[in-house]
Amino acid sequence: MITYTLLTGLAVIAAILVDLAILRTNLLKTLHFWVFFAVLTVMFLIANGVLTAAPVVLYNDDYNLGLRLGTIPAEDIFYGFALILPTLSIYARLTRQKGSV
């Protein structure tokens, strides 16, 4: 069955491949990225806490692990990682070519 857990796992693998193998921006090997991701996770927990507590978004637990941080599905943390790492890799590549970052 195609679940949220499965799709998120695939997206995380794709994100890692983009950074380390495809664009070779290697952000994952930097302290800069991990400090950023720690701060992002705090902001994310606030925003997503509101979205899942209201709830604005209702999750169908037939398609996730059912593990929650408060009201937030565990998959959401990895979902955010998979969205943002490729964004930063592409940005790093685009700006590095320009020689300005």
Interacting residues with another protein (CB under 8 A): 3-4, 7, 11, 31-33, 35-36, 39-40, 43, 46-47, 50-51, 54-60, 63-64, 80, 83-84, 86-88, 90-91, 94-95, 98, 100-101
Cβ nearer to another protein, comparing 47 with 67: 47
CB of 26 to another protein, least distance (A): 14
Distance of CA 4 to the CA centre of its chain: 13
Using an 8 Å Cβ cutoff, are 74 and 4 in contact? no
CB of 69 to another protein, least distance (A): 16
**Residue 20, token pair as written in the block:** 């380390």
What is the rounded CA–CA span in Å between residue 101 and residue 92? Answer: 7
Residue type, 63: Y
CB of 100 to another protein, least distance (A): 6
What is the rounded CA–CA span in Å between residue 91 and residue 45? Answer: 24
Cβ nearer to another protein, comparing 35 with 67: 35
